[in-house]
Amino acid sequence: MDSIIVTGGTELKGTIPIAGAKNACLALMPATLLSDEPLTLTNAPRLSDINTMTHLLQSLGAEVTALQGGQVLAMSSHDLNNVTADYDIVRKMRASNLVLGPLLAREGRAVVSLPGGCAIGARPMDIHIDGLEALGAEIQLKDGYLHAAAPRGLKGAVIEQRFASVGATENVVMAATLARGTTVLKNAAREPEIVDLVKCLRAMGARIEGEGTDTITIEGVDRLHGATHQVVADRIELGTYMIAPAIAGGEVELLGGSMELLPAFCEKLDEAGIVVTPTNGGVKVARSNGRANAVDVKTEIFPGFPTDLQAQMMALLATAKGTSVLEETIFENRFMHAPELMRMGADIDVHGGHATVTGVERLKGAPVMATDLRASVSLILAGLGAEGETMVSRVYHLDRGYERVEEKLGACGAKIERVKGE
């Protein structure tokens, strides 16, 4: 397996282009199943998770062609011949469950394996199931697969989610586009990825209102047509690279980024003493006054602080002045990066969903192991500001969510390299 070696102590200066959003693209790709006409996505990220979704769609009979080095995805589902999402593909990635709603809406049936992905705690399918059953689907769990059918088609309904699940919102919205009548989804997720999906569905002919709020209304149509859609910038990649100069020092401009994608995160960086300013091309981040200030962080659904930036924020706070408390409210078991940061000299005390971080003056390089996607990059970030060399192993997680990390950071002066494994 590949490893990433980082030698700390170098300030960063330069620009980093922000890729299209992985989480947006993974929801947009299954939308092709809703129509027999072509759907083209531009600004697609070049990641292993995108490849996994490509293989899944192809296994269902969809055509997916990567163009322009993978940044354009040309898709067509004019000849679907399978409604089973097999375990061997689905186990690799949580977002594979997003074929469930579109298959039900288009084909009237679907068999989807329970999903996999990072080991950051249980992320059950019950909210997805409740929403689709409210639309008239009949769903049973057999041998690790969800067997779903809508023999009489889907019908609009008023649905109130008990939690604003992003994935369930995406599944229900996609299914409802082809349902008879009107669907009102209450306590819907408000994330930018949801807004981006709705923009794409609307371009395909869907009738949807309320995206970006907690109530989304979908008026079903008989069919959707083809479209071309540009994937929104990846706010998690944006936030990750905003933390890089905050840890290492220096000044970096993130091209294509927007502070509006990360309102609560930007507020916390400001509180920590990190200077964030909008530019004509994106966002500029600088640390000019030594160590960051300690801040308390609580992860919340959008527009709150993203759970997917909690690990990176912990890496920053490990060398902040004072003591910080991080509260994780979205996923249990998402502090697995803490012991690895402690190997680098961090002072962290974890109790359930809380982590108390007492900043030290500087971390020290050490061999560490990535446990999940965001933990991987948090250890690389920590290495940027550490004394000496940090080797991060098991970085196959990293390639699921970040393209060419070593190139992007290296272009700003970071001493970082990938070492190929056997």
In 99-181, beta strands by DSSP E: 109-113, 138-142, 145-149, 158-160
Residue with tokens 């020290």: 364
144 Cβ contact list (under 8 Å, min separation 6): 87, 113, 114
Longest dimension (CA), the chain: 64
Q: Cα–Cα distance between 153 and 165 in angstroms, integer?
A: 24
The token pair at 107 is 């084909």
308 among annotated binding-site residues? yes
23 among annotated binding-site residues? yes
Burial class from Cβ neighbours inside 10 Å (0-12, 13-18, 19+) for residue 289 reads: exposed
Report the alpha-carbon angle 314-123-331, nearest 5: 20
Are 378 and 244 contacting, i.e. CB atoms less than 8 angstroms apart?
A: no
Residue with tokens 């924020």: 313
**Active site (annotated) includes residue 118:** yes
- Reduce the DSSP state of residue 358 to 3 states and report it: strand
Helix-, strand-, coil-residue percentages of the chain, each rounded to 5: 35, 30, 40
H/E segment holding residue 5: strand 3-7
Residue 329's CB: how many other CB atoms inside 10 A? 15
161 Cβ contact list (under 8 Å, min separation 6): 127, 130, 131, 168, 169, 185, 186, 187, 188
25, 118, 200, 412: which is the annotated catalytic residue? 118
The token pair at 240 is 């990750």
404 among annotated binding-site residues? no
58 Cβ contact list (under 8 Å, min separation 6): 64
94 among annotated binding-site residues? yes
97 among annotated binding-site residues? no
Q: Residues annotated in the binding site, as ranges? A: 22-23, 94, 308, 330
Residue numbers annotated as active site: 118
Q: Residues annotated in the binding site for UDP-N-acetyl-alpha-D-glucosamine, as ranges? A: 94, 308, 330
Q: Residues annotated in the binding site for phosphoenolpyruvate, as ranges? A: 22-23
